[in-house]
Chain A
């Protein structure tokens, strides 16, 4: 490096640049949060969805599945599963019917022994997530 570009200049770019872009990031985040009500399907959130998110979390569904493309890549995307299965009842039936000891030779999903209320909650939660405006992601119904 030539002496024309000194350590002091590098330091100033670091402090100035970081501060500027951090503030810009906060501003964009503020704008995002204020635009979300029109995009995030919050009107669908009710007691059942709240319970459903809890069931989703305490059973660590994200440890095998993706949700809106984030999570693990071992099992199908679930953000659009209600659409893929055609109904919440079908989704509930799938979750309910998992064999305790898995399916021989196949990637298996545990039997969580959920109550009817919890099952309904998860299904409602997945339907709520399916209503988020994701800019048309995923590309097709397979997720």
Chain B
């Protein structure tokens, strides 16, 4: 570690992993509710578990992105963080606000939470992924702005690199598009239209910039390939991302009341969205093949390659599967969507955060890389989590194909609940895969506690 203030990242990463565990526990609860409908009812209804699951996901990924920034920005800018105290303060504010919100979901009925937090003053609650009370949303904006200020000042007063500029652009976009979370008209079409400016323009726009920047940083470090080469790739990737992904938003405008021309714009541009993910895969493998040094942190390399491949599969392949309007007409809002959502989020954003953690955590703990025992254990967790996520995706895809056929395509369409009963077996298998995912995650955490007597200090 070159700069003292980089170590603030450790705090963020620990919190991220803690919340990750919570996310998965609630995922497994929901997986059971899918097949045992009354499980935990009425104490934790499905919708509550779902809010906890998805909100924890987003919050821990944000912790991850912030930690990544605090780690890599000082190193790139070649100076200490502008205001380390602010980063620490915001950490606690974000953690407490996040925990309070989750407890709010779990402890009081949602309608009560809305009343308690005076949702009527500025109603923003009750929309998917944006369930947080308005006051929490305001808190998120404050945290995001202080964070941007801190990171921005560090970049602007230090060495500016392509990695930090791209990262900063992505983070700024993240904050700007989040502002649309405060726009909630009664008109459902306008509501949905701009809701996607948060959700789609995040995951298929600015977050990809963040992902690209983090991946580029880690590849520079572990492969020793010339920065010029890596920066060129990075520009190509993010150019392709935004050129396809911005108009690609149209793949959500097919059936929500927007004009019919979106079926053309949305299909054509979103069909191009897999390309940047494919280039990212080429990029990662090329750089590792052309490496100029043998970095002792093998498992970080595995994560870096893994995230590129899995993001391509989850976002690129599974996204393409249902993105053309004539296909989406049948698959819209089915288990196919859930299958894609899982693999894409895991492959791109979960894995990129685990990549930077894997690379930087040993350094922050005073060694270049963990010892072989810890690394092997982490590799096992990589495979357990990744393979079980592949199976979750496959089972949900199976469920989705049957659902589409039985409920929407056959000559005698069946009702939703009838169909859900018929495809129960797939949900059981998803649940089993989910439990294996959880085991992989536990192993991941255990790998941090392996005694490092045989550590590498190359």
Interface residues in chain A, defined as those with a beta carbon under 8 Å from any beta carbon in chain B: 1, 5-7, 10-11, 13-14, 17-18, 21-22, 24-25, 28-29, 31-33, 35-36, 39-42, 45, 49-50, 53-54, 56-64, 66-77, 100-108, 110, 112, 128-129, 132-135, 137-143
Contacts and interface: CB of A to CB of B under 8 A. Distances in A.
A137 B254 contact: yes
Given A28-B265, A128-B188, A66 B111 contact: no
Nearest to B250: A28
Contact of A21 (B246, B329, B415): B246
B451 interface: no
16 contacts: A6-B232, A14-B238, A21-B242, A21-B247, A25-B246, A25-B247, A39-B257, A40-B189, A60-B47, A60-B126, A63-B45, A63-B48, A68-B192, A72-B46, A74-B33, A138-B408
Interface string B212-251: 0000000000000000110111011011001100110110
A34 to B, nearest CB: 10
B192 A101 contact: no
The 3 closest A-B pairs by CB, nearest first: A63-B47, A57-B126, A69-B333
A76 B416 contact: yes
Contacts of A112: 111
B380 interface: no
Interface in B261-283: 262-263, 265
B338 interface: yes
B36 interface: yes
A110 B189 contact: no
A99 to B, nearest CB: 9
B413 interface: yes
B235 A101 contact: no
A110 B42 contact: yes
B41 A102 contact: yes
Contacts of A57: 114, 119, 123, 125-127, 184
A132 B257 contact: yes
Given A11-B235, A75-B416, A22 B246 contact: yes
Given A140-B413, A142-B408, 11 more contacts: A10-B235, A13-B235, A14-B235, A45-B187, A53-B186, A57-B123, A63-B131, A73-B338, A110-B45, A129-B188, A139-B330
